[in-house]
Amino acid sequence: MPSFEEARALILASVAPLEIERVALGEADGRVLAESLDAPFDLPSADNSAMDGYAVRSADCRTSTSLDVTGFLPAGNVQTLHVGARQAIRIMTGAPLPDGADAVIPLEDILAHAGNETASGGTIGIAGPVAPGAHVRRRGEDVRARTCAIPAGALIRPPEIALIAAFGLTAVETYRRPRVAILSTGDELAAPGGPLGHGSVYDSNSFALAAAVREAGAIPHSLGIARDDRVALRDKIAEGLRIADCLVTTAGVSGGDRDLVREALSSLGVRQLFWKIDIKPGGPTAFGIGLGKPVFSLPGNPVSGLVTFEEFVRPALRKMAGHPAPIKPPVKAFLAETVHKKEEMVRFLRVSIDSIDGALFARPSGDQKTAILGTLVRADGIAILPAGRSAFEAGEAVDVHLLYPGCRS
């Protein structure tokens, strides 16, 4: 049976980034950039004003003085104006600096204004001195032409979108998002919205895992519920392998007599890399490759399903989506209370996190039995207590994977 780290390493070694496709900028966020994006021109493309004010020659403004206002440059104005000796041109934020000017005096620093307030004309009184380059955005000071603006492998977030659009580009090369087929299995499952018979439970895994797939940046495709029936299971699994890049099944792998997932997978030629991992919760987590695609068989318990998704499926999906570092970096948190566990296995502890004076404290969010879903609902993260020890003392620093940080308020 592999350890936590061995299982995750095996999984990551078995998957590769999907193909690269060009997508419109409006669909690029959340994807990984597959090309190094070099700046096609200097950004900003010209020296321009950082403030609403007056463009001046700093040499004229060493001491308090007055200047003649000879023109007006709103942003987007295309005319070329010239600032001569002892002159100023009224300028708006973003407008290119006129010829001759090397600084801008913000409106709020103007001491006195005589003449027309809004357009050219009149004179202004200023305090001085004004440093050369004051309130001027230099051409290329943001990004220089032909240098790397965004490296390949970067996650495209709103700021990257802004930068790409600032270069006038409308499409970029990105990795394709993985499509993930999700199959819930078990005779006891009922679809939400329908009646709940005695001994049945509603299928929460299909919905929870679809949400987790989306949170991971991938596209879920629910195959619905397969009964504990050889033919039904085989058909659904075959469909998942055909239509998706990755298949995730839940339940039916814990070795009970109706656990037919194992049989269905092998009948479809899925090559199994392992059936169990030395972890809790989530011990009966299996992984294989079918039609070259990763197949995860997660335990049926909703807590186990989500925890193993987070620790094993999510990194695989991130790698397939082109992320160069697909494992979520853990944060360090101090345990708020002593925790005991079985020495030989890794324990995933559902914890709530408090930040006190900048330090993070992890406290078990309640009953850690696998069937208690409320503890996961109240958790902010999963503390990873490594194998080889049975006691973790209050005050000890442990690794925590924060859960769904993009969904936190």
Residues that bind ligand AMP (CB under 6 A): 184, 186, 188-189, 201, 203-205, 250-252, 254, 256, 299-302
Q: Residue 49: name its binding partner from Mg ion, ligand AMP, none (Cβ under 5 to 8 Å by kind).
A: none
Q: Which stretch binds Mg ion (CB under 5 A): 179-187, 237-245, 315-323, 351-359?
A: 179-187
Q: Residue 224: name its binding partner from Mg ion, ligand AMP, none (Cβ under 5 to 8 Å by kind).
A: none
186 vs 281 by CB, closer to Mg ion: 186
Q: Residue 302: name its binding partner from ligand AMP, Mg ion, none (Cβ under 5 to 8 Å by kind).
A: ligand AMP
What minimum distance in Å lies between the beta carbon of 171 and ligand AMP?
A: 39
61 vs 286 by CB, closer to ligand AMP: 286
Q: Could you give the CA distance from residue 73 to residue 98 in angstroms, rounded to a whole number?
A: 8
- Is the Cβ–Cβ distance between 263 and 230 less than 8 Å? yes
Report if residue 299 touches Mg ion, rule: CB under 5 A. no
- Is the Cβ–Cβ distance between 227 and 188 less than 8 Å? no
What minimum distance in Å lies between the beta carbon of 256 and ligand AMP?
A: 6
Q: Residue 46: name its binding partner from Mg ion, ligand AMP, none (Cβ under 5 to 8 Å by kind).
A: none
Task: Spell out, one character per residue from 246 to 275, where the chain touches Mg ion: x when CB under 5 A holds, - when not.
Answer: -----x------------------------
The tokens describing 284, both together, are 């009966």
Q: Could you give the CA distance from residue 174 to residue 25 in angstroms, rounded to a whole number?
A: 10
What minimum distance in Å lies between the beta carbon of 369 and ligand AMP?
A: 12
- Is the Cβ–Cβ distance between 384 and 398 less than 8 Å? yes
Q: Could you give the CA distance from residue 219 to residue 228 in angstroms, rounded to a whole number?
A: 26
Q: Residue 204: name its binding partner from Mg ion, ligand AMP, none (Cβ under 5 to 8 Å by kind).
A: ligand AMP
What minimum distance in Å lies between the beta carbon of 256 and Mg ion?
A: 6
Q: Could you give the CA distance from residue 186 to residue 200 in angstroms, rounded to a whole number?
A: 10
Give one word for 269, left, alpha or beta, with left for phi > 0 and alpha for psi -120 to 50.
left
What minimum distance in Å lies between the beta carbon of 185 and Mg ion?
A: 7
Q: Residue 87: name its binding partner from ligand AMP, Mg ion, none (Cβ under 5 to 8 Å by kind).
A: none
Q: Which positions from 182 through 201 interact with Mg ion, judged by CB under 5 A?
A: 186
98 vs 252 by CB, closer to ligand AMP: 252
**Sign, Cα dihedral of 277, 15, 244, 152:** positive
What is the per-residue DSSP string for 75-112? TT-----B--TTEEEEE-TTPBPPBT--EEEEGGG--E
What minimum distance in Å lies between the beta carbon of 188 and ligand AMP?
A: 5
Q: Nearest to residue 383, comparing CAs of 350, 340, 334, 337?
A: 350
371 vs 394 by CB, closer to ligand AMP: 371
Q: Residue 14: name its binding partner from ligand AMP, Mg ion, none (Cβ under 5 to 8 Å by kind).
A: none
71 vs 299 by CB, closer to ligand AMP: 299
Q: Residue 178: name its binding partner from Mg ion, ligand AMP, none (Cβ under 5 to 8 Å by kind).
A: none
96 vs 252 by CB, closer to ligand AMP: 252
Residue in the shown chain whose Cβ atom is closest to ligand AMP: 300
- The residues that bridge with 340 in the sheet, in sequence order, are 391
What is the per-residue DSSP string for 37-85? EE-SS-BSSS-EESSSEEEE-GGGGSSSEEEEEEEEE-TT-----B--T
Q: How many CB atoms lie within 10 A of CB 370?
A: 19
> At 293, is the secondary structure helix, strand, or coil?
strand
292 vs 374 by CB, closer to ligand AMP: 374
- Is the Cβ–Cβ distance between 404 and 350 less than 8 Å? no
Binding positions for Mg ion, rule: CB under 5 A: 186, 251
